[in-house]
Amino acid sequence: MQTLDLVIIAAYLAGTVALGAWFSRSQRNVKDYFVSGHQAPWWAVMGSIVATETSTVTFISVPGYAFANDFTFMQLVMGYMVGRVVVAVVFIPAYFRGELLTVYQLLGERFGTALKRFASGLFLATRTLADGFRLFATGLVLAALLVAAPGAAEWVDRLFPWFDPTTSLLVFSVLVMGAATITYTYLGGIAAVIWTDLLQLVIYVAGALIAAGILIDRIPGGVGEATRLAGEAGRLGWFDFTVSLSQGYTFWSGVLGGAFLTTATHGTDQLMVQRYLCSKNTHEARKALLWSGAAVFVQFMLFLAIGALLYVFYTHQASGEIAAFTANGRLQTDRIFPHFIVTHLPTGIIGLICAAIFAAAMSTLSGSLNSSAAAAMADFYMPITHGRRSDAHYLRMSRVLTAVWGALQILVALAAINLSTRVVDEVLGIASFTNGLILGVFLLGTFTAVRQRAAFLGVAVGAAVMLAVKFATPVNWQWYVLIGSIVTFAVGWTAARMGLDDAAAD
């Protein structure tokens, strides 16, 4: 890591802030701030969808998966594509029947205020926790880079003398990444989020392509030889038809579980639905969502191919370095791609690819901040004030809420410094089963005449079942949304049939 690499990273961070300032000029009300006045072109929305569902964890973990296993991750991606079709057909038309700022307003119209606020509050809580830990993970990457930069660690240590050197680097990294993301999201709203997402998508895909090209150049025989060696080692297999609830990345957990997972995350989660609401109409939103499926398919193929190339490189050309990402006899796959970046890429390219890693993280975090502010504003603040304040007031409060949720995510990230990896994994796993509960409620609202009390019963029983599944069974997380949504739907429907429902919702 040289000065040039740090300059490239700093220029990237400054550029995103400048882009946010640029888009702040055209905002007049919350509609502009949260749904860009429904004027975003479909291809920009598509890029934002892809970038938002690609985090730093994706960028470094998927190559690690292929290094240690094969291409069976693509079975989950196939499920992603099926889920997109369901969302495009079933849910997207409902989003354009009124003037929505959040997806949870639909639940309010169907079931009443209490269930709307419950769903929105659940989203806010899980999003803040999950993305706070994602910010922490990104801070780990920046801290590792600063360690390798001459003089950087000493300078940071002087800024935070009350921490040990390792903690100082982590605190500084979290604050820098968090502040940059908050600033451009605060200023530019969803328009800045969408267009910086598109820029970030270009940056991290370019970084991945450059890394793949350098890997191919380092392997004698190029693509042909790499393909032969990876195939002989079983790293190119796609399908696993094992029937098991405890094993992940099988055809069944991938296609079925992945379809339900994407139906939930892309159909009932404000983080994604807000992108569709920025489109001009139903047709444009559907086009953005479906084409994002094709883009995600190609993207994951690229990440997995990098993993296969890394396997060939480190087992045939640089086998002596495998110890660098092995601890206690166990391969730490998330460290493989970052290790290659830092040790084998030329100056300048390291900075570009590190910027790509940060781009993958910030695209998710910025969308999280804006969608959290939208949920807090539309589902809580505006109803409490009865919508009687001025447009300028609501726009100002929307920015304040963006900063508030950003500060909360930074606090979560800072707290994560002192938590074990196991605790981090458990908190991140919350979203896997809460998404199923919300999807079950949306299915009740779409396909039945169930009212509020039965829907709440469905959610309560669904939550109890999912807690038992998560902590008392070996069932793999890829089944969580399917199980949670089916239990919530079935209990709610059964409760209504048994006369346990209430009168019309408020």
Is the pLDDT at 438 greater than 50? The verdict is yes
281 burial (CB, 10 Å; 0-12 / 13-18 / 19+) is: exposed
Q: For residue 60, what pLDDT is reported?
A: 81
Q: What is the pLDDT of residue 426?
A: 55
Domain ranges of the chain: 3-428
Q: How confident is the model at residue 421 (pLDDT cuts 50, 70, 90)?
A: low
* pLDDT tens digits along 244-257: 999 889 999 999 99
State both tokens at 127: 């999003």
Position 67 pLDDT exceeds 60: yes
Q: Per CATH, the architecture of 3-428 is what?
A: Up-down Bundle (1.20)
**pLDDT band at residue 49, thresholds of 50, 70 and 90?**
very high
Is the pLDDT reported for residue 375 higher than 70?
A: yes
455-499: per-residue pLDDT in tens? Answer: 999 999 999 999 899 889 999 888 999 999 999 999 999 999 888
User: Are residues 171 and 163 in contact, defined by beta-carbon separation less than 8 angstroms?
Assistant: yes
Q: Are 34 and 377 in contact (CB under 8 A)?
A: yes
Q: What pLDDT score does 5 carry?
A: 79
pLDDT on residue 503: 52
Mean pLDDT along residues 36-52? 91
454 has pLDDT over 90: yes
Amino acid identity of residue 249, one-letter, is Y
Report the run of H or E that residue 208 belongs to, with start and end: helix 165-218
pLDDT in the model for residue 505? 46
Residue 143 has pLDDT above 50, yes or no: yes
**Is it the case that residue 92 has pLDDT exceeding 70?**
yes
Poorest-confidence range of 10-19, 84-93, 118-127, 387-396?
10-19
Question: What pLDDT score was predicted for residue 9?
Answer: 81
Mean pLDDT, the chain, rounded, equals: 87
Asked if pLDDT for residue 79 goes beyond 80, the answer is yes
From 218, 216, 219, 197, select the one nearest 208 (Cα to Cα): 216
CA distances from 504 to 109, 336, 500 (A): 11, 56, 13
pLDDT in the model for residue 422: 47
Residue that has been written with the tokens 């196991």 in this structure: 422
* pLDDT band for position 137 (cuts 50, 70, 90): confident
Residue type, 469: V
Note the pLDDT of residue 325. 77
Q: Which residues contact 252 (CB under 8 A, 6 or more apart)?
A: 241, 243
The residue among 33, 59, 20 whose CA lies nearest residue 393 is 33
Residue 304 has pLDDT above 80, yes or no: yes
- In terms of pLDDT, which residue wins out, 482 or 16? 482
| Residue 473 confidence (pLDDT) | 92
Q: Say yes or no to pLDDT of 429 above 80.
A: no
Asked which of 36-50, 173-187, 407-421 is least confident by mean pLDDT, the reply is 407-421
Q: Which of 503, 499, 505 is nearest to 445 (CA)?
A: 505
Q: 56 pLDDT exceeds 80?
A: no
Q: What's the pLDDT tens digit per position in 176-192?
A: 889 988 998 898 888 88
- Using DSSP's 3-state secondary structure scheme, residue 350 falls into helix
Residue 89's SS3 state is helix
Length of the chain: 506
pTM above 0.75, yes or no: yes
- Cα 230 from chain centroid? 30
427 exposed, middle or buried (CB, 10 Å; 0-12, 13-18, 19+)?
middle
CB 192 within 8 A of CB 29: no
Per the DSSP assignment, residues forming a β-bridge with 331 are 326
User: How far apart are the C-alpha atoms of 388 and 378, rounded to whole Å?
Assistant: 13
CB 73 within 8 A of CB 65: yes
Average pLDDT over residues 79-102: 91
| Least confident stretch, 57-66, 145-154, 390-399 | 145-154
